[in-house]
Structure formats: C-alpha cells, structure tokens
Structure 1
Amino acid sequence: MLENTDVVVIGGGYAGVMAANRLTRHDDVTVTLINPRPTFVHRVRLHQLVGGTDAAVVGYQEVLAAGVRLVVDSVTRIDAAGRGVELASGGVVGYDYLVYAVGSGSADPQVRGAAEFAYPLASLEEAQGLLPVLEAAPASAAVTVVGAGPTGIETAAELADQGRSVTLVCGGVLGPYLHRRGRRSVAGRLAALGVKIVEGAAARVTAVTRDAVRLADGRELPSAVTIWTAGFGVPDLASRSALSTDALGRLLTDETLTSVDDDRIVAAGDSAAPSGLPLRMSCQTAMPLGARAADTVLSRLADEQPEPLNQSFGAQCISLGRATGIFQFGNRSDVAVWFHIGGRLGAKMKEGVCKGIVKHLADEAHKPGGYSLHRMKGGSGRREALEAMRSEVPVAEQVS
C-alpha cells in the first residue's frame, strides 16, 4: 500500500459517510470528506421535519470517524487528469483516489407552473423552506402532495395526522414498489387519516398554479400548498467534469463501482450507475454502496482485485403518521412479496430502521470495517439483467 494515500469523498450523506468511515481502517490513508453542510442530514426523516416531529439532522460528531477531515464546501469541478477537486470557495483539494457520493435531489418537474408554485421536498433546505409556508396556511387549507412513492406517502400521512386536509396525487399507482396487499393496507390507513387519493393515468399533473393543481383529464384540484415529491435528480458535477454518465447524470461505473473513465474514481449511492443499471435510490442502497466503494479503493491500494457489486435487498418501510406504518418485505432482487407488517408494529419497525441507520454509521466510525451488509448474497435479478444486457452487445464491442 502506498504511504500517505489521500482519499477525497464528495458528499456527506449515507453513502459518503459510510465510505469515509470505512476508509479509516488504515492509518496511512488520509480521508477528507467534502460536504456543503456542517451537519448530517437524516434524509429519511425529512417528512417529519415538515410535520414538526423531528429535526432530520444529526451532528457529524455522532456518525463520522474522528480521523476524517470535514471540509464544509461545495465541489464545482473534478479535475481527473490533475487529481484534484475545485471548491466553490476557490480552493483545490488534491487526491490519490476519489469517492463520488454526491447523492440525489429534486428532479426538474417539467410541468408548467411546478417550479414556481410547488414546493419540492428532497433536501434539508427544501424542507426548511416549506415549514413557514405550512405554518402560514390555515389548518383547513387544501394541501396537495404530488408523487406516491415513499416520500409522498409519508408526507401526506404526516400532515394528515396533524389534521391537515390532504390530497395525494399519484400520477399512476399508489406506492409502485408495494405488493398489492401492502398497497391496500397503505390505502386503508391513508383513508382513515382523511387523505384523498387520486390514482391512475388521468391523475398525471399537467399544470400547477398558485391555488390549484390541474390533471390530465381536465380536473382542477384546489391547492393552497402543493408539495412536489415525484422523482429524483442528481447533481451534474460528473457531466460538468467531463466524466461519463447515464441519461440522468449518474456516474457510469463497472460492477466494482469504478468509473469507466478513471480507475482512481469510484462512485457510491444515488449518484452511481454501475454497468448502466443503477439501483433503487434509497439509504438501503446507499450505505452498502458506500462500503463497497471504500473496499474497492482499499483493494486497489493493496494491489488486490476489487470484489464486484453484490447488493441484497429485504424490504421497504414507510411511516403512515406517528402511530402506524408498513414494513413491506421483498426478495433479494428488490421485488415486493405478499407479506408485510402494518399498524403499530409496522411503525415501530420503521422507527427501528431510522435509528438503525445512524447506529450503522456510528458503529463504522468507531470500528471501521465492521459493517458487512454489503457482503450479503444478492438476488438473481441483477445478474440476469446484466447477462441480458451483455448478450445484446455485439461480440466485436465486447472484445474491444
């Protein structure tokens, strides 16, 4: 292993913190974490921040290894040839290896009026900006949540639990990941909270105004506050740095999470697209990918072949207000199965997961190398998808 190897991690979310902590396993590796905020954002609690039941932030001293140098700044460009990252403050930080873990944020809704009149909810700043808007709105004011993934469902339930008048516009099916049994359970709980669910292709939002949401079938829903949770986007740092990305802007890597352009750059979390087949954007994916990225760097430093990605899934959990929730089980290939746990026990399991995330990061900070969930055997789905993709590539391209 090289002496005094400098590793820079861009992004202090679930993937970046896990990677930074794990890299401290070796004393001769100097780790610098660059993040635009001085605190760790517990993103899975952002809906609670909006609902006033949690701050959704954790001090880095609780989750980041003492040996990691934290730089509060933003990276504006990666100079791969010069092995340095340029900062918004004007400085440059050099590296021997780089972990690209910039995460994800709100996607451009590309719907007329949405950027002007809807409030996104994918970052701490967006959630904090939404709070005074909700506080200024009367309790009886119509609130519309657009998007029926976990964030949309949890936000709708959290606000309805407070007595708000909430409409959840799905733009398709409620909870696309859920099994039909789990979906019925979630729909029942939302109905009990008073949430009006608008589903189907006709529920696609075509325009947002100051006081309404217009749907594809011409319906217009009154909306004093419109919250946008549909879709995620990733920062364009990789493309701005002339690195190869997928159509969404995620850094293209091989199955060891190594950039297809530069073996000194590895990616993790929502901003990674291994083999052009990115995994579901979630903390359940981010932390194992962070550990895998760190292991790839350490393997290269030891002149060993890095292990390929082997992601295993098990469930998706969603809170439905403070009293209930759902723990939707899935197979290792991330496909929901019939079994789920709901009600108060579902809420307790969801809360246990939220606390467990912080504990995993803290444990890795205190004992780097202890995390092992990324080593669990994954399902056959990804392997089959990779084989199918490779079979479509001409032999000449495979050889070259």
Structure 2
Amino acid sequence: MNEIVRVVVVGGGYGGVTAANSLARRDGVSVTLVNPRPEFVERIRLHQLLTGSDDAVESFGDVLGGNVRLVVDTATLIDATERRVSLAGGGTLPYDYLVYAVGSGASDPGVPGAAEFAESVSDLEAAERLRAALAATPATAPLTVVGAGPTGLETAAELAEAGRRVTLVCGKVLGPSLHAAGRRPVARRLAELGVTVLEGPGASVTEVTGDAVRLADGRELPSSVTIWTAGFRVPDLAVRSGLLTDAEGRLLTDGTLTSVGDDRIVAAGDSASMSDHPFRMSCQAAVQLGPAAASTILRRIAMKKPAPVRMFFAGQCLSLGRNEGVTQFSYPNDKVNALRVSGRPGAGVKEIACRFTLNKLLSGARKAGSGTPRASRGDGAALPETPRSEQRTTTSGTS
C-alpha cells in the first residue's frame, strides 16, 4: 500500500465504532467517524436512564481508538459518484471507502395522536425527554407502554420496579420474539411488579390522546404518559442519496455487506439488509457486523476477495428491573429454543452481557491506537474540552 486509503464511517453506534476501531488498526488506512453526538450511547441501557440507574453514555475517548478522527456532525448526503459525504455543518468528507452504520430509531406509529402525544425510548434525546416527562408526572399517575418486544418489556419493568403504575399493551402476544417457555417467567415477573398486561386481538392501539389510549376493542385507558416502543426505522440517508435499499430503507447488500451496485460502500448494524440473509436488528448483530464490514474493506484494499459474513446468535437477554431478568437462548441462526435463565441469575446474565459488550469496545479502542480520538466539528474546528454533561446535542439520525 503506497498511499493512504481514506475510510469514512457514518454513525457511531455499536456497528460504527467496532468497524472504525478494526479499520484503524491497519497501517495506511485513515479513519474518520461521523456522529451527531460527542458521546457514545449504550442503547441497551437506555431504559435504565429513565429511573437513574445508569446514564447510558460513554466517552468516545474510551470506546474509540486514538487513530480515529471523530467528527461531531450529521451526514446529510452521500455522493457515491464523487465519493464524498456532505455534512449538516456545511463541510464535506471525501472517502475511498465508506461504512454505512447510521443505526435505527423509533418508527412512525401510524396511529392517530401517537406522533404528537406518545414518548419514546429509542435514542438518547428521546429517553431524556421521557425522563423529564416522568419527573413532571405524579408517581401515582397511570403510564402506558405500547409494544411488548424487548424494549417495551424492559421499560415497563424498570418503571414498575420504581413504583410506577404501568399498563403494557402487547397487541397479540407478550414477548413475540420469545419462546413460549421464555414468556412464562416474563409474565410472572411483570405480575409481581404490578404491571397490567393487555394482550390478544383487541389489545392494539387505535388512538393516543394527551391523557388516554384507545384500543381496538373499544377500551379507553387513562394514561398520563404513553411510551411507544413498537417498531424501529432507519434514517433515510441511503434513500436520499439514491442508494439501493429495501422497503424499510435499509441499505441492500450482498453477503459481504457490500452495497448492491457500489463496492466502495459497506454497511454495518441495523441499517444493513443482506438480501439473501436478513437478520434481527440488535446490538448482538451490530457488534459482529462492524468488524465484518471492516474485514470486507481491508480485503478489498489488499486486492483479495471478501468473505461472506457468518453470524452467530446466542439468544436474547432481558432485564426486568434491577433485580430479575430472563435470558432466552437461541440456536446460532437466531431461532429461539426452550432454554432460558430467569430470576436473579437472569438479571446477572443480562448485566454480564452489557458489560461484555462495553469491554469489547474498550478493548477495540486500545488496539486502535493510544490517546484520545481527534474530535472536531464538520467544519474541521476542534471541539472544546467540556464536561460530559455539557456535550449533549439535539440532532438525530444515527446511533
């Protein structure tokens, strides 16, 4: 390699950070990571932010290697022909290869009143707004969580354990991604915490107002704060940039995570959609896809054929408050089985999984160069040194 290869990573979530650190370990590769926030968000802990048991953020100085340049800005357009990324701050970043890792956020509920009145816990800013809304609401006021996937279950349990009155609106079934055997300890724990669980054909939301939730079967639930956790969407950056995407806007790739139609763009995390092997949007997938995306780029730089991605899933870990949890095991292809760990051991496994994930990022950062990442705005100006509590922004679109 006779000249520096420029790689731009768009998105600083689990997939983007692991990709950037893997790339930055290679001599002759210059890595720039673009993210709208100056901090890394531990999305798997955002439900803990609501009750104050964790702030759900880590310094990029800890999780990102010193060989990675951090640009705190939002990517607005990818020009694949000219190979450059336009930024909201007015600057542009040229690239030889690009990692598309913009993550995901809350989906449009498509239910009257939900966009106006429902809160979310899908990203840091939404979780902070929700925490403020909860702080302004009496402890005895009724809360409604809509959606019984992992985010809804963890949010409902966290709030109920803190003494809140919570109703969980499941739609058809509690924990649809779980095995039937795994649903039983979840239902038991929610009952112990006093969560009212509504499931079945009539338990779908038809309207949200400022103080109520209406269901398909005609019931009206009083709700001082409604929290929508059903479904995620990806930012529309790929669509706006004219790249090939699936129906949900995720970048279409082949088995090596390479964008269909452009071998200079490789995807990682929730924003990737392998056309022949779809996978569940999750942190567990992202921490595998990030290094895999880096490997594809490094093999192309070395004039070698990239290898297809091989994914391995172990299961799903749920925290049901701070004292109990459920770990649902799966086959390597992500199909769940009847094996599970529940109660306090389940909570312990979930905490181990969270710490293991963070330690994986910290280890990757150490291998990607010592020192603090070079941080700047999109116009190239250095960011001032400020306390973590002052480094929050209100932009969105990436993890």
Work out whether the TM-score is over 0.5: yes
Residue number in structure 2 paired with 1:280: 280
Q: Secondary structure at the match of 1:177?
A: coil
Summarize deviations over 1:257-288 as a string: whole Å, max 9, x none: 00012100000000000116431111000010
Which residue in the other structure is 1:351 paired with?
Answer: 351
Kindly indicate whether structure 1 or structure 2 has the higher relative contact order, using CA contacts under 8 Å at least 6 residues apart: 2
Shift of the 107–277 alpha-carbon distance from structure 1 to 2, 3 Å rule, reads farther
Between the aligned partners of 1:268 and 1:51, the Cα distance in structure 2 is 31
Once the two structures are superposed, what CA deviation does each residue of 1:28-78 show, in whole Å capped at 9, x if it has no partner?
000000000000000000000012111000001111011000000000000
CA distance in structure 2 between the partners assigned to 1:201 and 1:302 by the alignment: 55
Task: Report how far residue 336 of structure 1 moved.
Answer: 1.1
Gaps of 5+ in 1: 370-400
Corresponding residue for 2:212? 212
1:351-370 maps to which residues of 2 (within 5 A)? 351-367=351-367
Matched, 1:4 2:4: yes
Q: 1:252–1:276: 8 Å Cα contact kept in structure 2?
A: no
- Corresponding residue number in structure 1 for 2:268: 268
TM-score, length-normalised on structure 2? 0.91
Match of 1:114 in 2: 114
1:85 Cα deviation from its structure 2 partner:
0.1
In structure 2, the CA distance between the partners of 1:2 and 1:165, relative to structure 1 (3 Å rule), is: farther
Pairing 1:72–2:72 present: yes
* 1-structure distance, mates of 2:250, 2:11: 14
2:320 corresponding residue in structure 1: 320
Kept in 1, the 8 Å contact 2:67–2:368? The answer is: no
1:175 aligned partner: 175
Report the counterpart of residue 87 of structure 2 in structure 1.
87
CA distance in 2, matches of 1:275, 1:305: 19
Helix, strand or coil at the partner of 1:51: coil
Q: Which amino acid aligns with 1:197?
A: V
**Kept in 1: contact 2:269–2:281 (CA 8 A):** yes
Q: Corresponding residue for 1:372? A: none
Count how many residue pairs are aligned between Structure 1 and Structure 2.
369
Which whole-Å CA distance do the structure 1 matches of 2:218 and 2:121 have between them? 26
**Contact 1:246–1:276, Cα closer than 8 Å, also in 2:** no
Distance 1:96 1:262 in 2: 12
How far apart, CA to CA, are the structure 2 residues paired with 1:40 and 1:2?
Answer: 33
For 1:33, the equivalent position in structure 2 comes to 33
Q: Following TM superposition, by how much is the alpha carbon of 1:2 offset from its aligned partner in structure 2, in angstroms?
A: 5.1
What is residue 396 of structure 2 aligned with on the other side?
none
CA distance in 1, matches of 2:333, 2:176: 16
Q: Secondary structure at the match of 1:203?
A: coil
What is aligned with 1:198? 198
2:39 maps to a residue whose letter is: T
Q: Say which SS state the counterpart of residue 170 (structure 1) adopts.
A: strand
Q: How does 1:1-400 map to 2 (within 5 A)?
A: 1=1, 3-275=3-275, 277-367=277-367
State the shift of 1:200 in Å: 1.3
**TM-score normalized by structure 1?**
0.91
> Does the CA contact (< 8 Å) of 1:269 and 1:286 recur in 2?
yes
Moved beyond 6 Å, runs of 4+: none
User: Contact 1:324/1:346 (CA < 8 Å) preserved in 2?
Assistant: yes
Name the CA distance, whole Å, in 1 between partners of 2:327 and 2:44: 15
**Is this contact kept in 2: 1:257–1:309, CA < 8 A?**
yes
Structure with the bigger percentage of helix:
1
Aligned-residue RMSD, C-alpha: 1.1
Give structure 2 stretches of 5+ with no counterpart: 370-399
- Residue 2 and residue 155 in structure 1: after superposition, are their counterparts in 2 closer, same or farther (change >3 A)? farther
